[in-house]
Amino acid sequence: MRADARRNLDKIVEAAAAVMAERGVGVPMEAIARRAGVGVGTLYRRFPDRNALIAAIGEHYVHSLAEALREAAENAPDAWSGLRGFVLWAVNPGRAALATALAELPDETFLDMAEFAVTRRRWLEGLDELVRRAQAEGGMRADVDTEDVVSLMNLFVCHPADLPAHVAAQPVRFLHLMLDGMQASAATRLPGDPAEDAPRV
Amino acid sequence: MRADARRNLDKIVEAAAAVMAERGVGVPMEAIARRAGVGVGTLYRRFPDRNALIAAIGEHYVHSLAEALREAAENAPDAWSGLRGFVLWAVNPGRAALATALAELPDETFLDMAEFAVTRRRWLEGLDELVRRAQAEGGMRADVDTEDVVSLMNLFVCHPADLPAHVAAQPVRFLHLMLDGMQASAATRLPGDPAEDAPRV
DNA sequence: CCTAAGCGGAAGCTCGGATTCCGGTTGGCT
DNA sequence: AGCCAACCGGAATCCGAGCTTCCGCTTAGG
């Protein structure tokens, strides 16, 4: 692989991550190419379709998530503030924002990316562990689960262009509100609790 | 206007509200026509473009919001639970969900709908009043404002199809989380507070 | 200096969705 | 009952955004 080709590849992945974070995963290929400063031809030579591109970005993304999570879990004074800090970091619009798109990608896309799947699973497990710990320590309400946390992240992260203007302007503000709602001290009864909402026979 | 034409008009508005609530404001005109059980031709005869349709729905919508707000404000035991009840009601996916689309409509659209603008303003004022009251009574944290509440509603309401699957499946759950975060008892420091975040000179 | 790898971006294609239009239908008045 | 203007449905047409290909030109690297 020639040196310039290599450089372009990096520029493309970086640009795609940025543009998709800004305008959603469905952004025109040409917009990505333009941002990367290359022609669409170059883009297509490297990535036969959008999914390949998403998968490539996802790989970077998940790695950085895993890294940040590890760091948060280790350095925070307690599990809940670690979790809070991690989510705030991860949703920063500057980071690539692809969790939902990744989740929706057909499995075939990852055929030759075994390592990626492993990292992803490990990340989810790490998050789950941190959540449980935060709950055990009493910082986080017990009726919220890991999947809720992931959804919360996705809510702000996946289609920034479609968010109401005020939310898009300061997503961090709303993130704080949500996180505050996840605190143990905020707990009210949440719907969807199987024990409570089961149909009475 | 012939009686059947009148009936169709109502069916169209109702269908459009439902379909847009489900699939976003950009949903194909044909989908609306199908749901209403009429041909696209009929749709276009009544509403020259999408905006006219949105405005028509918006009128209904705002009226029902205003009504619900009034009721909540009067009947709830305290302002905060009234506000909470109102938001939970308003975000119910069964209701028309158009606030964002309405806000983004060009002003020309409302040229011959003076009454609508009035209702809308009055609704906003009522909401604002309820918020202030909830804060004064100590039920709601003071660093959240009316605009935040509106944005929160929009967040769940505007493009349901684009929400992460888990959120879409039980939006009420996330709504509760957000509302819990708005309770006075949940308050942590929120970013975006001008007094605190002003650049230090 | 040579050549194969690599590049850019115009051209053509696809397809979802908007919009038109007209032959057939029907409400409602006489 | 009979008439006709209002109204309807939906096939046909139009349109443009975005995808994908392809080839003549450029350049890295030996």
Q: For the residues A95-104, what does the mean pLDDT come to? A: 57
**Is A154 within 8 Å of B164 when comparing Cβ atoms?**
yes
- First-residue to last-residue Cα distance in chain A: 67
**Shared-domain flag, residues B94 and B179:** yes
Q: Are residues B154 and B100 in the same domain?
A: yes
Footprint of strand D on the protein (CB under 7 A): A 2-4, 26, 28-30, 40-41, 44, 49-50; B 1-2, 4-5, 8, 37-42, 44-45
Q: What is the pLDDT of residues B116-165, one digit of tens each?
A: 778 888 888 999 999 999 999 999 999 999 988 888 887 766 555 555 56
Q: Are B61 and B43 part of one and the same domain? A: no
How far B166 CA sits from the closest chain A CA (Å)? 6
User: In chain B, which residues have their Cβ closer than 8 Å to the Cβ of A144?
Assistant: 177
Torsion angles phi and psi, residue A31, rounded to 5:
-65, -40
Which among B159, B166, B178 has CB closest to A177?
B178
Distance CA B79, CA B62 (A): 21
Of B31, B48, B65, the position where a domain reaches its end is B48
Q: What are phi and psi of B57, to 5 degrees?
A: -60, -45
Neighbouring residues of B105: CB distance < 8 A, sequence distance ≥ 6: B51, B54, B55, B58
DSSP B1: -
First to last CA, chain B: 67
State the average pLDDT over residues B25-52: 94
- Rounded CA gap, B182 and B171, in Å? 17
Greater model confidence, A25 or B10? B10
Q: Is A40's pLDDT higher than 90?
A: yes
Q: Which of A26, A41, A36, A60 is nearest to A158 (CA)?
A: A26
| pLDDT the model gives residue A125 | 93
Of residues B92 and B24, more confidently modeled: B24
Bridge partners, B140 (sequence order) = B183
Q: Cβ neighbours of residue B30 under 8 Å, at least 6 residues apart?
A: B40
Residue B195 lies in a domain: no
Higher pLDDT, B168 or B57: B57
The SS3 assignment for B112 reads coil
DSSP state of A36: H
Residue of B nearest to A99 (CA): B164
> CB-CB: which of A172, A186, A190 is closest to B183?
A186
Average pLDDT score over residue span A30-41: 97
Q: What is the pLDDT of residue B96?
A: 36
Whether residue B195 has pLDDT greater than 50 = no
Q: Can you give the residue range of the structural domain that contains B1?
A: 1-48
CB atoms within 10 A of CB A169: 12
Put simply, the answer to whether B174 touches A176 (Cβ < 8 Å) is no
Distance CA A197, CA B16 (A): 32
Judge if B69 and B6 occupy the same domain. no
pLDDT band at A164 (very low <50, low <70, confident <90, very high): low
- Residue B136: what are its φ and ψ, rounded to 5°? -60, -40
Q: What residues of A are in contact with residue B167 (Cβ under 8 Å)?
A: 151, 154-155
A82 lies in the same domain as A120: yes
The mean pLDDT value for A175-183 works out to: 86
* 3-state secondary structure (DSSP) of residue B94: coil
Q: Rounded distance, CA A183 to CA A180, Å?
A: 5
- Does residue B65 sit within a domain? yes
Residues A46-93: tens digit of each pLDDT: 999 998 998 888 888 888 888 999 999 999 999 999 999 998 888 765
Examine the domain organization and report whether B24 and B7 are in the same domain: yes
- Specify the pLDDT at position A199: 45
B183 phi and psi angles, rounded to 5 deg: -65, 150
Q: Which of A26-30, A107-111, A195-199, B55-59 has the lowest mean pLDDT?
A: A195-199
| pLDDT score, position A201 | 43
pLDDT of residue B110: 74
Which residue gives the smallest C-alpha to C1' distance to C20? B41
Instruction: Tell me the average pLDDT across B42-68.
Output: 89
**A79 or B170, which is more confident:** A79
Q: Is B146 on the interface with A (CB under 8 A)?
A: no
Checking each nucleotide's C1' against the CA of B27, the nearest proves to be C17
Q: Report the alpha-carbon distance of residue B33 to residue B15 in Å, rounded.
A: 8
Lowest-confidence segment of A20-24, A133-137, B31-35, B64-68 by average pLDDT: A20-24
Q: What is the mean pLDDT of chain B?
A: 82
Asked if the structure places residue A143 within a domain, the reply is yes
**Residues B92 and B36 occupy one common structural domain:** no
How high is the pLDDT of residue B165? Answer: 61
Q: What per-residue confidence (pLDDT) applies to A195?
A: 44
Q: Is the pLDDT of residue A194 over 80?
A: no
The label of the residue with tokens 């990626």 reads A116
Confidence of residue A198 (pLDDT cuts 50, 70, 90): very low
- The reply to whether A108 and A173 lie within a common domain is yes
Are residues B39 and B89 located together in one domain of the fold?
no
Q: In this predicted structure, what is the pLDDT of residue B94?
A: 45
pTM, 2 dp: 0.72
Span B67-115, pLDDT tens digits: 999 999 999 999 999 999 998 888 765 443 466 566 667 777 776 677 7
Residues 6 or more apart in contact with residue A40 via CB below 8 angstroms: A29, A30, A33
Q: Are residues B101 and B167 in the same domain?
A: yes
Count CB pairs under 8 A between chains A and B: 115
The CATH number of the domain holding residue B109 is: 1.10.357.10
Cα A65 from Cα A72, distance rounded (Å): 10
Q: Which of A166, A173, A190 minimises the CB distance to B190?
A: A173
DSSP lists the bridge partners of residue A95 as none
Residue B118: the pLDDT is: 84
The span from the CA of A127 to the CA of A151, in Å, is 13
Burial class from Cβ neighbours inside 10 Å (0-12, 13-18, 19+) for residue B63 reads middle
